[in-house]
Amino acid sequence: MALGVFLPGQAQVVLKAQPVVEEPKGEAPKPAAPEKTDLKASWQTQKEARALTLSVPAPRGQIVDRNGIPFAQNRAASYLALVMPYMDGASDEQVTTFARTTIEKVNQALGKTWSLSDDKVLLHYKHRRWLPLVFSVEEGLNVEITPDMEEKLKPLLGTSVVLQPAYIRHYPQGATACHIVGYTGKTRPLPTGPIVDGDPVFEEMEGREGIETAFDSDLKGQAGLVNVLFSPDGKRLAEDVRRNPVPGRNVVLSIDYNFQKYAENALKKHTTSGAMVIMDVTNGDILAMASNPGFDLNEFVPGIRSKRYEELTKNPHLPLFPRSFRGEYPPASTFKIVTALGALDSGKVNAKTYYDCDTAMEIGNRVFRNWNKEGEGSMTVVTAIKRSCNTWFYRAALESGADFIANMALRLGFGERTGIPLKAEGEGFVQTNAWTLQHLNSKIQSGDLANMAIGQGRVLATPLQVCQCMAGLADGSRIPQPRLVLQVQDMADRVVMAYEPKDRKRIDLNPDHRQTVINGMVAVVNGSGGTGRAAGIKHAEIAGKTGTAQWKPTKDQNLAWFTGFLPAGKPKFAFAVVYEGEPGEDVSGGRKAAPIVSEVFTNIFEKAPADDPMLLAIKDVPKATVVEEEVVETPGDEVERAVPRPPPPPPERKGIGGFFRKLFGR
């Protein structure tokens, strides 16, 4: 019998089981009468033989990018295992001595200090000695035997020391997209008691984070079953495959490996900690969702060492934390886009409404300041967006009322998860009058509304939510459902599940209001005195918005944002970047976040093939007319300072045959 094992990313391996030898037909020769001493051994051989039904875990499916570049695959690994012979009448000391002596020979050959406790050896000998007992273990993790180690062990491999094969996960791109892909861990320890039907022959793995856990049922496949007949000394006499393992399905992500890599490289170059998200406006595809710092997924294969895990968890920059979709930050001046749309919708503000851009504004008994210490005179919403004037937006929000601002934020997707299939996605938060009445027994106060107008106070968002908002603004009529997985395929490349593009919600922005806001965003990058000129690229016109905010005041730590879409005249890509400043670092969205956008999209345009369909779709888009007004042309360096307030109560969170030979052929 032969069974093919398909290792994703490798050729199909077909290995044959050993045939059962049949006696020739005709009159059989009479066997010689055995001596009495042999008779006892013969009966014991029959008594100690075992026919076992064992489960062989299936290889997990692959996780690949939209173009088939693999993020997660499988490979076969080998561990060293002890095979216990039957020892008639042996004492516990004899059994443990055999194990210690055998393992010591291996240690001498490899310079190792591997061992098994006496209790573990005796328990295995009593209940499971027909199966191999892995002993190449350090810190509770199996240690893979390399080809060099195997060469040194050749004289010892055979009856008592064998190479025990298993499938293990392999992440060919290392740390790339680590927070999206996730990693695996043991489903459960191998059994230690009496063998029962269906016991696995090696450890099964399950998803623990990211796509590995979200699509675990698709990725893990179906285990195979094999009947194996063993002699008392552990030799396989025969095997019968009852059910072939069915490899897991492949998960195809919306992520573009190149986009993801460009984003991660730029974050590593420009930030200590930060995140970037890029989304296709037309269909909601998440093309990049990067967080910095990250970690090498292969450190979790087959499991992570305790010391290394402690290093990762205690690292103050939190490399295990997926900032792009789990981090909740004050959105800073990027939220002024929401405030502008809400104010225009209220009818109290229009495209020709002028407010003075003063250095400060007194509201109640508190003073709310502008980032620019020089007054900039009277301006409309377009210039207020371009110059990111705080005091203009304080006035616009107070004139319009809290409901118009909060409702526009909810309309654009703030305050609720986007629905990507990753656990613990950040929900964000938007203060509303309803919430304030329930928790604070009042409506939103003027000071809190002024803070909210500039993306401070009781408003939080993930980079993914900010990017989603920009996708909605870029379209104008609807927010596309953010799509992280395109489809699930079986091993024959047949699509078994497809996730079609769909609308998340209708927003139907007023076309005139939308265009007014976009005019301001175009001026941010392309107009004189715009706060985000460092984001500009020569290949397309970017509409964007800077943001800089207090984040952790007690540590003097600020955030820098840049978000928007491009091309401004025919939007294809929406994006959001957040830069976490170090304590005491002087940051601004224009100086810290905007250059990341420029670098990433320059790489995308200059390194993509000429026939790339995404770039062909935006070829020769005409540039928008930049609306200019008389303003002071000072460098963009705004920092929105939140006015101190008491901390809010927490918001309510509504061919496997050859594989068998390796396993049993000894």
Give the pairing of strands 273-280 and 286-292. antiparallel
Alpha-carbon radius of gyration of the chain: 32
Dist CA 666 CA 657 (whole Å) = 15
Q: Are 386 and 523 in contact (CB under 8 A)?
A: yes
Compute CA distances 248 → 129, 417, 490, 593, 664, whole Å.
Answer: 31, 29, 7, 40, 24
Structure tokens at 340: 């502008």
Cis check: omega of the bond before 302, within 30 degrees of 0:
yes
Q: Are 570 and 282 in contact (CB under 8 A)?
A: no
Please report which residue ranges of 178-316 form alpha helices under DSSP H. 178-181, 210-214, 216-219, 257-270, 306-314
Q: How many distinct helices (H) and strands (E) make up the chain? A: 21, 30
Give 421: exposed, middle or buried? Use CB within 10 Å, 0-12, 13-18, 19+. middle
Cis check: omega of the bond before 482, within 30 degrees of 0:
no
Dist CA 384 CA 393 (whole Å) = 8
What's the pLDDT tens digit per position in 231-286? Answer: 876 677 888 999 999 999 999 999 999 999 999 999 999 999 999 999 999 999 99
Domains present along the chain, CATH in parentheses: 2-18+47-253+659-664 (3.90.1310.10), 257-616 (3.40.710.10)
Residue 490 confidence (pLDDT): 94
Structure tokens at 108: 């001498």
Query: Which stretches in the chain have pLDDT values below 50?
Result: 1-45, 630-637, 644-656, 660, 666
Report the amino acid identity of residue 632: V
Structure tokens at 588: 């601004």
Q: Are 182 and 198 in contact (CB under 8 A)?
A: no
Report the amino acid identity of residue 620: D
DSSP category for residue 435: H
Q: Are 430 and 414 in contact (CB under 8 A)?
A: yes
Beta-bridge partner residues of 2: 16
**CB atoms < 10 A from the CB of 81, how many?**
20
Q: Map residue 41 onto helix, strand or coil.
A: helix
For 256-267, letters b (16+ CB in 10 Å) and e give bbbbbbbbbbbb
CA 276 to chain centre: 13
Dist CA 627 CA 612 (whole Å) = 32
Residue 230 confidence (pLDDT): 82
Supply angle C-alpha 270, 276, 278, rounded to 5. Answer: 135
Residue 31 confidence (pLDDT): 47
**Site of tokens 């654009």:** 412
Q: Are 278 and 290 in contact (CB under 8 A)?
A: no
Q: Which of 611, 393, 384, 405 is nearest to 520 (CA)?
A: 384
Residue 236 confidence (pLDDT): 79
Residue 651 confidence (pLDDT): 47
**CB atoms < 10 A from the CB of 38, how many?**
10
Q: Contacts by 415-418 with C-beta closer than 8 Å and gap 24+?
A: 418/325, 418/464, 418/465, 418/468, 418/481, 418/482, 418/504
Q: Map residue 109 onto helix, strand or coil.
A: helix
Q: Calculate helix-pair angle for 433-440, 402-411, nearest 10 degrees.
A: 110
Dist CA 427 CA 422 (whole Å) = 12
